[in-house]
Amino acid sequence: MASLISIIVTTYQRPDALDAVLRSLARQQDREFEVLVGDDGSKPPTRDVVERWQGGLGAPLTHVWHEDRGFRLAEIRNRSILASHGEYCIFLDGDCIARPDFVAAHRRLAERGWFVTGNRALLSQALTAAVLRDRLEPEHWPLSAWIGQRLRGDLNRIAPLLTLPIGPLRKLRSSAWRRARGSNLGFWRADLDRVDGFDADYLGWGREDSDLLIRLMRAGIRRKDGGFATGVLHLWHPEADRSALPQNDQRLDALRQGDRIRAERGLSTLRAEMTPAR
């Protein structure tokens, strides 16, 4: 079982959603964690949200920022890993609200030799607007309320919000890297170090998560399903610019054809860049 858990929340120019996510982390049942906001170059309002929560989160909170030079999710995740102190890392998107047992569920599922893939329920545009405008706290809503939202078309599915003891079924897809959601993932820090973290050569939206999972599996780390335990509430947002996807698909295809385990531009590269020259 992990001791300190590092929750890495990635964000870009969405301070209202980040505020809701940090609120949900402030209400966690399990308190043995730190939070690192991995900020992909947002303007000052995001920093202001982080500073407001630094005194009220009830856990260490660090703002990790780099200059806005386009979509660099892999790199800001690596920067956040290097700034973290936990032996286990949970990656959470900055528009995914965590329910009160989120950290506790990830801690229960953490197992040496495995990473955990969580899931999410998508809120509609209208419900998202109401949650942010009225500062609602959907992380505390009972299942009956979510059934009502589903019937009204404001929730895409109920299953991620159910809690079921599915036991051995969690390991049925131990070698499947597809259909894993990067918005909710748990890894041992030692495993991330072993494969050198995310590959920052992935620029623009898409495939950096798949690249990491394939390399982890080549290193002998297997997939554990966090469904029916770790589900989060994903706030609506417009679809991301996918113009870089063909290039990222080519990069992923090249990885799959080889046997490489370590990132081409990963934690070690970034660490070297950050080390002052003597």
- Give the three-state DSSP class for 186: strand
Q: Sheet of 114-117: strands edge to edge?
A: 61-65, 33-39, 5-11, 88-93, 184-188, 114-117, 222-225
pLDDT tens, residue by residue, 160-177: 999 999 999 999 999 999
Supply the mean pLDDT for the chain.
96
In the numeric block, the tokens 């909170």 are attached to 61
pLDDT of residue 179: 81
Task: Give the pLDDT of residue 165.
Answer: 94
| Coil, helix or strand at residue 173 | coil
The pLDDT of residue 105: 97
Q: What tens digit of pLDDT does each residue of 7-20 get?
A: 999 999 999 999 99
Domains of the chain as residue ranges with CATH: 5-273 (3.90.550.10)
DSSP codes joined into one string, 77-130:
HHHHHHH---SEEEEEETTEEPPTTHHHHHHHH--TTEEEE--EEEBPHHHHHH
- The string of pLDDT tens digits covering residues 74-130 is 999 999 999 999 999 999 999 999 999 999 999 999 999 999 999 999 999 999 999
Angstrom distance (rounded) from CA 160 to CA 33: 23
DSSP string, 191-246: HHHHTTSS-TT--SSSSHHHHHHHHHHHTT-EEEE-TTTS-EEE---PPPP-TTHH
Mean of the pLDDT values across residues 229-245? 96
Q: Which among 195, 215, 182, 203 is positioned nearest to 94, based on CA atoms?
A: 182
pLDDT the model gives residue 182: 81
> Tens digit of pLDDT for each residue in 44-79?
999 999 999 999 999 999 999 999 999 999 999 999
Element (H, E) at 36: strand 33-39
Cα 1 to its chain centre, rounded Å, is: 20
Global confidence as pTM: 0.96
Taking only the tens place, the pLDDT of each residue in 173-194 is 999 998 887 889 999 999 999 9
CA gap 252, 49 in Å, rounded: 35
